[in-house]
Structure 1
Amino acid sequence: MELFTAIEQRRAVKHFHSGEQMSERDFQKMMEAVLLSPTSYNIQHWRFVRVSNAEVREQVGEAAWGQPQVTEASELLVLCADTQAWAKQPERYWQNVDAKAQGVLVDMLASFYHGKDQLQRDEAMRSCGMAAQTLMLAAKGLGYDTCPMIGFDAGQLAEVINLPQDHVIGMIIAIGKAAKPAGVRGGQLAMHQVLMQNYFV
């Protein structure tokens, strides 16, 4: 599918054909695209929990207040991020550059994030957001629909997936074939309401 068509047609689908399966080939292709998403200092904070076990799906569904797309979707991913990834073997993020450049980048990274808890969390969530958009567009390009979800009890979901203490949950994304089309767009703000020239007026 052409990129701008995928952007236009990507919608949050609430009901999926439960009998439809995403091929492993398509899943891998989608995830390979996701791993090309940008991150600050190439930290690649994101961690993806693929929920394939039916019992675990039910538990996630309970944490998501019974929303049907959790159990109906072909694939269910919990997008998480490691807030401390910046400090964990940071040289691996620049393993393909020369040692001098790697040293400079690692030092810069440490200086930028050290002692800044809010920035660490914000950066992890930004990384989740960029990965999520790549994932949804890649899925649409492969002929699948998606539903990004923030409607869940974060503490309960963290227990279900055994989330490490230094990680955060960005969102859940359900993936599959739509059983019902998305509703009409609620209404887009006009360009002049959201695009400023140089500064706010």
Structure 2
Amino acid sequence: MQPWRFVVIDSEEGKEKLAPLSRFNKDKVLNSSAVIAVFGDKNNFDFAEEIYSKAVELEYMPQEVKDFQLNAFKPLYANIMEDEMKDIIMLDAGLVSMQLMLVARSYGYDTNPIGGYEKDQIAEAFGLDKDRYLPIMLLTIGKAAHEGFESYRLPVETTTEWR
């Protein structure tokens, strides 16, 4: 249902507004070319008809598949628990955020995901309904001012099991 929503903060005024909410990431926010605040829309199913109708119009799917999908998803989304919706949103918005980071990198830009910020204040600070929009992460984007530190990854044997 494409639950991701982005607020691109690229003005000095916007970054100054965000900085106090960014905890120990203020320098990254203030020195980036832009910060993309990623949110999840809890009302994402409101766009289902538009998404599926456009897919039919563009001949990405036949009408009967659209009808089947919407009839299957409508009762699911109508009765979904808040925690279940949050899980769906977090997964989908996390995946699109990583894709955004990879695409930015392919164009020569650096990104940095930030999870340490005032999630309870960010939506309202940028004019969004805090009950509808779930904060996912901040992504700084631009050209790195200096090389970052190497990071250590646990060995595959520690993180993976074969059965």
Mark yes or no: TM-score above 0.5. Answer: yes
Higher helix proportion: 2
Gaps of 5+ in 2: none
Q: Secondary structure, in 3 states, of the residue corresponding to 2:88?
A: helix
| Aligned-residue offset at 1:184 | 2.1
d(CA) in 2 for partners of 1:166, 1:108: 23
Give the TM-score taking structure 1 as reference length: 0.72
| Aligned-residue offset at 1:89 | 4.0
Is the counterpart of residue 67 in structure 1 residue 34 in structure 2? no
**Structure 1 pair 68/103, CA: closer, same or farther in 2 (3 Å)?**
same
Give the TM-score taking structure 2 as reference length: 0.87
Q: Which residue of 1 aligns with 2:112?
A: 147
Q: Secondary structure, in 3 states, of the residue corresponding to 1:174?
A: strand
Q: Which residue of 1 aligns with 2:68?
A: 104
Q: How many residues of Structure 1 are paired with residues of Structure 2 in the alignment? A: 154
**Structure 1 pair 181/46, CA: closer, same or farther in 2 (3 Å)?**
same
Is the counterpart of residue 184 in structure 1 residue 150 in structure 2? yes
| Aligned-residue offset at 1:92 | 1.8
d(CA) in 2 for partners of 1:123, 1:89: 15
Structure 1 vs Structure 2 CA RMSD: 1.5
Q: Which residue of 2 aligns with 1:17?
A: none
Gaps of 5+ in 1: 1-42
Report the identity percentage: 23
Question: Where in structure 1 do 4 or more consecutive aligned residues deviate above 4 Å?
Answer: none
Q: Which residue of 2 aligns with 1:56?
A: 14
Q: Deviations over 1:142-178 (max 9, x none)?
A: 1111110011111221221122221101000000111
User: 8 Å contact 2:123–2:133 — kept in the other structure?
Assistant: no
d(CA) in 1 for partners of 2:94, 2:104: 15
| Amino acid across the alignment from 1:167 | Y
Q: Secondary structure, in 3 states, of the residue corresponding to 2:26?
A: coil
